[in-house]
Amino acid sequence: MANASDLRRVAMSLEGTTEAPHFDRAAFKVKRIYATLAADGLTANLNLAPDEQEFKVMMAPQAFAPIQNAWGRKGWTTMTLAAVDEAELRAALEMAWQHALPKR
């Protein structure tokens, strides 16, 4: 079972990541934001590709859900922290982090 401290620690271990406020959330970004942590620390929103989102939701619907708006249709996904272990947390964050890296 992961929590906000786990998310922050794992995200900050990913190369180039910085943390900054983003409205009422904490945002983690490299070139672009790839994850935000809710103010209550219970959920995080991740920038996944639509096919990655579909897979995560299919495999772990208790942990992952599309955001219910246009951002969700683009792949932004809500992750319930208490429903994932640290390995799944790290895998999901690394997946989102890849999308935020500068294009080479």
Task: Write down the domain spans for the chain.
Answer: 4-95
Please tell me the predicted confidence (pLDDT) of residue 103: 84
Token pair belonging to 99? 């999308």
Q: In this structure, are residues 98 and 18 in contact, taking their beta carbons and an 8 Å threshold?
A: no
| Total H helices, total E strands in the chain | 4, 6
Query: pLDDT tens for residues 10-42?
Result: 999 999 999 999 999 999 999 999 999 999 999
As a whole-number percent, the residues of the chain with pLDDT over 90 amount to 97
Query: Is the pLDDT score of 104 beyond 80?
Result: no
Token pair belonging to 66? 């599309």
Q: How many CA atoms lie within 13 A of 20 on its CB side?
A: 9
The hierarchical CATH code for the domain 4-95 is 3.90.1150.30
Token pair belonging to 87? 């390995």
